[in-house]
């Protein structure tokens, strides 16, 4: 397994020299400053790579090997008139990356919003902070802050009442902060930041797009992209929709094994692969993660390892738990991924996904989920599992 670490570039509060100390060898990164839809020029890719690999001569080497992510313009998701130029640009970016030796590309196909949480500082009993998605808070935002047309149809009476009580109890500041957390976007997002008005407009563009249409647009995109990925030796690794269910009346189409089966049946190219984001898929109790690690062995090119613990009474609410101590059987996920590597004779990239904000990071400016110490704890735990499994051959 190639231990990788996400780095957001020179503005990331976690520096490359700190990453080197964690023992990770591979960097997951992107050119975040380039507007969505534009080509990443080869020289810009090359300078970013040089920055990462600058001290490789005399220090433990770091290599930029994984891109997370090339954003997919919403016009492609909508198949809007003129979207072809964005597809061409995506292909050129892929080719430029491959020419610089970066051949694993994560991306997602979530409409309008990228990953979403409601709390960025949810305190755990041990004092550290985690990210959380609270379904009731989400509903309070959707129903009473955004006031989305037809939102009422998406909630039961009980859900509506709970959300109403929460909304009534929130101060104006709390409402503003919840709004920011949901629509301004989180680190690494591949969509725009919105104001409430822009957000309503962005949602309205999807009024006529149902699951079948969005799926069709994804397959059409991949049918155009995958021959170029194959030719360049690039592995595409689609990231699931996080959280993995419909939100704001938008269809979400990469949430379950059924979605993945449909995806691979329709676009069988070997370049068409996936990111096994354990925490995202694991936010649904019906997704069996160790089983998915086995079933999609040939398609998994990248894995995000992170645990979630769901609320007992509302299974769509969860917090990001410790990497090994959550509702997900992480040890068996890792064991199955290691078996795949043996059987297929190839390595995959793994990264500790989000970590807790803890110790010296509590008073430090960090990107939510992307602290130094919490992620290092996650990586160290994962590394322990890998070592134990490989050393004892269990």
Among all residues, which ones are annotated catalytic? 239, 277, 304, 353-354, 370
Helices (H), the chain: 16-22, 42-53, 74-78, 84-99, 135-140, 157-169, 172-183, 196-204, 211-232, 257-266, 278-281, 289-295, 330-344, 373-392
Min dist. Cβ of residue 188 to ligand DNO (A): 3
Q: Which helix (H) or strand (E) holds 350?
A: strand 349-352
Q: How far is CA 213 from the centre of its chain?
A: 23
| Partners of residue 236 on adjacent β-strands | 105, 272
Min dist. Cβ of residue 369 to ligand DNO (A): 5
Min dist. Cβ of residue 116 to ligand DNO (A): 10
Q: Is 134 within 8 Å of 188 (Cβ atoms)?
A: no
Distances (CA, A) of 159 to 134, 153, 295: 12, 11, 35
The residue ranges that bind ligand DNO (CB under 6 A) are: 68-69, 106-108, 114-115, 188, 190, 239, 277, 304, 354, 369
Torsion angle of the four alpha carbons 80, 84, 89, 90, in this order, in degrees rounded to the nearest 10: 70
Residue 100 or 114: the one with the smaller Cβ distance to ligand DNO is: 114
Min dist. Cβ of residue 115 to ligand DNO (A): 4
Nearest to 376 by CA among 19, 10, 12, 13: 19
Residue 166 or 190: the one with the smaller Cβ distance to ligand DNO is: 190
Min dist. Cβ of residue 67 to ligand DNO (A): 10
């Amino acid at each position: 397994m190639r231990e990788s670490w996400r780095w957001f570039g020179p503005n990331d509060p976690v520096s490359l020299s700190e990453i080197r100390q964690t023992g990770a060898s591979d960097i997951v990164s992107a050119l975040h400053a380039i507007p969505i839809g534009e080509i990443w020029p080869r020289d810009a890719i090359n300078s970013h790579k040089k920055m990462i690999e600058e001290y490789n001569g005399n220090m433990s080497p770091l290599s930029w090997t994984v891109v997370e992510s090339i954003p997919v313009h919403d016009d492609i998701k909508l198949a809007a008139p003129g979207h072809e130029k964005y597809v061409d640009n995506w292909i050129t970016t892929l080719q430029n990356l491959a020419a610089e030796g970066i051949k694993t590309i994560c991306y997602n196909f979530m409409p309008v919003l990228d990953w979403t949480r409601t709390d960025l500082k949810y305190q755990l009993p041990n004092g550290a902070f985690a990210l959380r998605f609270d379904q009731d808070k989400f509903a309070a935002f959707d129903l009473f802050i955004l006031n989305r047309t037809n939102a009422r149809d998406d909630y039961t009476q009980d859900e509506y009442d709970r959300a109403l009580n929460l909304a009534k109890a929130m101060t104006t500041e709390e409402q503003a902060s919840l709004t920011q957390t949901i629509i301004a976007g989180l680190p690494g997002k591949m969509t725009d930041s919105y104001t409430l008005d822009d957000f309503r407009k962005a949602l309205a563009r999807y009024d006529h797009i149902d699951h079948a249409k969005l799926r069709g647009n994804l397959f059409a995109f991949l049918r155009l992209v995958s021959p170029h990925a194959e030719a360049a030796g690039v592995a595409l690794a689609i990231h699931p929709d996080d959280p993995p269910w419909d939100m704001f009346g938008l269809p979400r189409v990469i949430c379950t094994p059924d979605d993945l089966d449909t995806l691979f049946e329709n676009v069988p190219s070997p370049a068409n692969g996936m990111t096994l984001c354990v925490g995202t898929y694991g936010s649904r109790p019906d997704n069996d993660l160790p089983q998915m690690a086995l079933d999609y062995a040939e398609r998994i090119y990248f894995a995000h390892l992170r645990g979630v613990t769901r609320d007992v009474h509302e299974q769509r609410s969860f917090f990001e738990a410790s990497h090994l101590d959550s509702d997900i059987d992480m040890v068996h996920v890792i064991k199955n991924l290691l078996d795949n590597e043996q059987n297929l004779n190839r390595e995959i990239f793994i990264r500790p996904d989000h970590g807790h904000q803890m110790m010296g990071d509590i008073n430090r400016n960090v990107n939510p989920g992307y602290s130094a110490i919490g992620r290092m704890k996650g990586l160290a735990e994962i590394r322990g599992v890998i070592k134990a499994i490989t050393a004892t051959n269990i």
